[in-house]
Amino acid sequence: MVQLSAPSASERRFMPPAVAVSTVAFALHPPVDANVADPGTGEVISTWGEYAGREGARDEHSTTLWLPLVRRTRPPFDGLWALPGGPIPWDEDLDQTAARTLHEAVLRSPGYLEQLYSFGATTRSATAQRLVTIAYWGSYGALDLASPPSPQPSRDVASDVASAAPDAVTEFSGALVASADDNVAWFSIDRLPELAFDHTEIIDYAVWRLRQRTEYSMVAHRFLGREFTLAQLRRVHEAILGEQLDPANFRRDMLAQGQLEDTGRVEQGTPHRPARLYRFTAEPEKA
Amino acid sequence: MVQLSAPSASERRFMPPAVAVSTVAFALHPPVDANVADPGTGEVISTWGEYAGREGARDEHSTTLWLPLVRRTRPPFDGLWALPGGPIPWDEDLDQTAARTLHEAVLRSPGYLEQLYSFGATTRSATAQRLVTIAYWGSYGALDLASPPSPQPSRDVASDVASAAPDAVTEFSGALVASADDNVAWFSIDRLPELAFDHTEIIDYAVWRLRQRTEYSMVAHRFLGREFTLAQLRRVHEAILGEQLDPANFRRDMLAQGQLEDTGRVEQGTPHRPARLYRFTAEPEKA
DNA sequence: CGAATAGTGTCTATGAGACATTATTCT
DNA sequence: AGAATAATGTCTCATAGACACTATTCG
């Protein structure tokens, strides 16, 4: 057995590092029933459904990305917000652990999930056990968020092992498991609160990598539903890159990629000419 | 204290994963005094100095990359070759651990070192403790290899903690520390032996990432000495990418990057017109 | 009709690939 | 001179950015 609680300073140097997974999960906006926290104080102010209705902030005009955070309820960094995550059970792949812990916080499965980088500086927590964090980044699409909260991940994942993890290891995980309460809230990436561990650094790196990816890869469509207009896709790119894009050139370049398929249908209920709806196809069109 | 040796099956699921670092260290050729192993059998056949002299394989015509491996001397995977690496001491950054363990195997410090990816599939070793490997990739330049073997890393790194690590953790490290003996040898990446753990997968991924990098970044010059000709730099690119490059266009593109500085000197002792020597500059030339 | 956005066509500058040509050094 | 490689110049084509212009729908 492993005895990990309250290690003395002399004992710490013989303890292997704890390993945890943390996930930066981007979305164009929170799910309607999710809590939204005040940027400055970190106080949960309302759900996204109320907030968006009040402010008139529709995702049509979304110009920023959002991500879920979990409030820690024990030391270290008690009370601060942290990325969803947790320790790695002995029989779970790293990818599975990331997916499961994220689902436990958000109650929904992301549409995309990918490993980002491993952080393990010795300065992360001077008084506690050494912690190595394997960071992931992912994205929630409109469909992922529209689905009702589910207690279990959609894909089959061993989740009973979570409670089997020693308490002392759980203590150092990126965040504690929360049960759909006020300890989970969504934040705009432009207005993040003070974060536990080095999670600010992790988020900065995730945003940087997301921008790199959108320039030479098709990841943006994962923020949308199954069908979308080119204007919607362009707004996703603009939100990620933080700059305006020429609609005409954007259309030409996207269609030249051959990964968009015309569904034949058009947008409904617009106050102007409706746009064609496209679908993403993995297979490039053969010319 | 942590007791990790001979865990029972029921105990294993309560043990936190062991964390180790492994490094894929590329070079245009091994150091002269390094062992070269036979591709098929993994038997150490001679040093690079003898081998290259016999075969007439000069680095001028190098068309493949080489990397150092360490032979394991205990289970699991006893006798197989593995990437240099080891467990993470409590007071060492991940980068430091990678640099130190690589130096312990090669007795030289690499010119470049960067984190690659973290591997942690549960299938890595069914009978042993769960292992998470944080993989690094690096490169040795001509100067790095030309220097005589040094027992300590050139940069100051805490190295006394290595022996403080519990034996059971060392057992699961990427490879055991070798003291410049027959248990360290260099292999061509085209002819690798059977490897321990999932190190074959790690090397494949490292080669793939190296190719990606050379296309939009200046990493190739790190394989060479401080001064080099454009032809030498081109041959490095060709070895990495595995294809021929047009000398004229390569010259134009490299010089347009503004990161090469003309030293004013030229190559010596060529049987033809000598080439200009260039130096790499971090600062782009202002036009 | 006018407003608003969808969608098309075109001009231009830039950069990559191909390759002909000149330059320099050694034997 | 002839061999071998360095170094330069030039042509073409593909692509990105800018932007004018046409099309369609709603109110």
Is residue B285 situated within a structural domain?
Answer: no
Residue B93: list chain A partners with CB under 8 A. Answer: 120-122
Which residues pair with residue A87 across a beta bridge?
A: A20
| CB contact at 8 A, A282 and A259 | yes
Closest C1' nucleotide to A270's CA: D26
Whether A249 sits with its Cβ under 7 A from any strand D atom: the answer reads yes
Average of pLDDT values for B113-141?
Answer: 84
Q: Looking at residue B62, what is its pLDDT? A: 62
Which structure tokens are listed for A132? 């190595």
Is residue A3 situated within a structural domain?
Answer: no
CB distance from B135 to chain A under 8 Å? no
Name residues whose C-beta falls within 8 Å of residue A9's C-beta, 6 or more positions apart in sequence.
Answer: none
Same domain, A118 and A78: yes
Average of pLDDT values for A68-93?
Answer: 91
Same domain, B128 and B258: no
Residues close to nucleic acid strand C (C-beta < 7 A)? A 229-231, 247-249, 251-252, 266, 270-276; B 246, 248-249, 253, 256, 266, 270-274
Alpha helices for chain A (secondary structure H)? 9-12, 48-55, 94-106, 142-146, 167-171, 199-216, 230-241, 247-257
Inter-chain residue contact A120 with B88, CB threshold 8 Å: yes
Residue B88: list chain A partners with CB under 8 A. Answer: 16-17, 120, 130, 132
How many interchain CB pairs under 8 A, A with B?
106
Same domain, A241 and A106: no
Name the packing angle between helices A230-241 and A199-216 (round to 10°): 140
Distance CA B115, CA B109 (A): 16
pLDDT bin (cut points 50, 70, 90) of residue B286 is: very low
Is residue A272 situated within a structural domain?
Answer: yes
pLDDT bin (cut points 50, 70, 90) of residue A214 is: confident
Q: How far is the CA of A223 from the C1' of C8 (A)?
A: 28
For chain B, what is the HEC assignment?
A: CECCCCCCHHHHCCCCCEEEEEEEEEECCCCCCCEEECCCCCCEEEEHHHHHHHHCCCHHHCCCCEEEEEECCCCCCCCCEECCEEECCCCCCHHHHHHHHHHHHHCCCCCEEEEEEEECCCCCCCCCCCEEEEEEEEEECHHHHHCCCCCCCCCCCCCHHHHHCCHHHHHCCCCCCCCCCCCEEEEECCCCCCECCCHHHHHHHHHHHHHHHHHHCCCHHHHCCCEECHHHHHHHHHHHHCCCCCHHHHHHHHHHHCCEEEEEEECCCCCCCCCEEEEECCCCCCC
Given A165, A183, A214, the domain boundary residue is A214
Given B162, B190, B214, the domain boundary residue is B214
| Strand D bases contacted by the protein (CB, 7 Å) | 3-10, 16-20, 23-27
Is residue A113 situated within a structural domain?
Answer: yes
Same domain, B54 and B100: yes
Is residue A110 situated within a structural domain?
Answer: yes
Is residue B3 situated within a structural domain?
Answer: no
CATH of the domain at B70: 3.90.79.10
Q: What is the largest CA-CA distance in chain B?
A: 71
**DSSP string for residues in A67-81:** EEEEE--SSSSTT-E
Q: Looking at residue A15, what is its pLDDT? A: 62
Residue B19: list chain A partners with CB under 8 A. Answer: 16-17, 19, 132
Distance CA A146, CA A144 (A): 6
**Looking at the predicted structure, is the pLDDT value of residue A167 above 70?**
no
- Shortest alpha-carbon distance between residue B134 and chain A (Å): 7
Q: Looking at residue A285, what is its pLDDT? A: 47
Q: Looking at residue B82, what is its pLDDT? A: 96
Average of pLDDT values for B8-27?
Answer: 75
Inter-chain residue contact A120 with B17, CB threshold 8 Å: no
Does A242 or A52 have the greater pLDDT score?
Answer: A242
Distance CA B212, CA B244 (A): 16
Averaged confidence pLDDT in chain B: 80
pLDDT in tens, A90-108: 888 999 999 999 999 999 9
Which member of A12, A88, A169 has the closest CB to residue B90?
A12
Same domain, A121 and A173: yes
Total number of domains constituting chain B? 2
* Chain B residue nearest residue A134, CA to CA: B118
Q: Looking at residue A125, what is its pLDDT? A: 53
The beta-carbon contacts of B236-244 under 8 Å, at least 24 apart in sequence, are: B236/B28, B238/B63, B239/B28, B239/B62, B239/B63, B239/B64, B239/B65, B240/B65, B240/B210, B240/B211, B240/B214, B241/B211, B241/B214, B241/B215, B242/B211
pLDDT in tens, B149-190: 877 665 443 333 333 333 334 444 444 443 457 899 999 998
Name the packing angle between helices B230-241 and B199-216 (round to 10°): 140
| CB contact at 8 A, A137 and A219 | no
Interface test with B, best of A95, A118, A127, A161 (most B CBs within 10 A): A118
Interface test with B, best of A88, A119, A201 (most B CBs within 10 A): A88
Average of pLDDT values for A172-186?
Answer: 61
Same domain, A66 and A188: yes
Q: Which residue has tokens 């690659």?
A: B116
- Shortest alpha-carbon distance between residue A141 and chain B (Å): 26
Is residue B155 situated within a structural domain?
Answer: yes
Does A201 or B76 have the greater pLDDT score?
Answer: A201
* Most confident listed range (A121-125, A160-164, B51-55, B237-241): B237-241
Q: Looking at residue B153, what is its pLDDT? A: 63
| CB contact at 8 A, A117 and A206 | no
Same domain, A68 and A138: yes
Q: Nearest residue to nucleotide D25 when comparing alpha carbons to its C1'?
A: A273
CATH of the domain at A254: 1.10.10.10
Q: Looking at residue B27, what is its pLDDT? A: 94
How far apart, in Å, are the Cα atoms of A226 and each of A142, A148, A264, A275, B284?
8, 17, 14, 15, 44
Residue A14: list chain B partners with CB under 8 A. Answer: 1-2, 90, 164, 166
Q: Looking at residue A123, what is its pLDDT? A: 62
Same domain, A198 and A234: no
**Looking at the predicted structure, is the pLDDT value of residue A59 above 60?**
no
| CB contact at 8 A, B5 and B167 | yes
* Chain A residue nearest residue B1, CA to CA: A11
Same domain, A245 and A160: no
Between the CA atoms of A75, A80, A83 and A89, what dihedral angle is there, to the nearest 10 degrees? 10
pLDDT bin (cut points 50, 70, 90) of residue A148 is: confident
Same domain, B70 and B141: yes
* Segments forming the whole domain that contains residue A263: 227-280
Given A185, A214, A243, the domain boundary residue is A214
**Looking at the predicted structure, is the pLDDT value of residue A38 above 90?**
no
Same domain, A22 and A71: yes
Q: Nearest residue to nucleotide C15 when comparing alpha carbons to its C1'?
A: B253
Which residues pair with residue B81 across a beta bridge?
A: B71, B195
Over pLDDT 70: what percentage of chain A? 76
Residue A93: list chain B partners with CB under 8 A. Answer: 120-122
Distance CA B108, CA B160 (A): 18
Lowest mean pLDDT among A60-64, A139-143, A228-232, B24-28: A60-64
Average of pLDDT values for A26-40?
Answer: 87
Average of pLDDT values for B142-150?
Answer: 83
Inter-chain residue contact A93 with B130, CB threshold 8 Å: no
Q: Looking at residue A165, what is its pLDDT? A: 37
* Chain B residue nearest residue A11, CA to CA: B1
CA A154, chain centre distance (Å): 17
CA angle, B7 as apex, B5 and B9 as ends, to 5°? 165
Residue A161: list chain B partners with CB under 8 A. Answer: 13
Same domain, A119 and A251: no
Is residue B41 situated within a structural domain?
Answer: yes
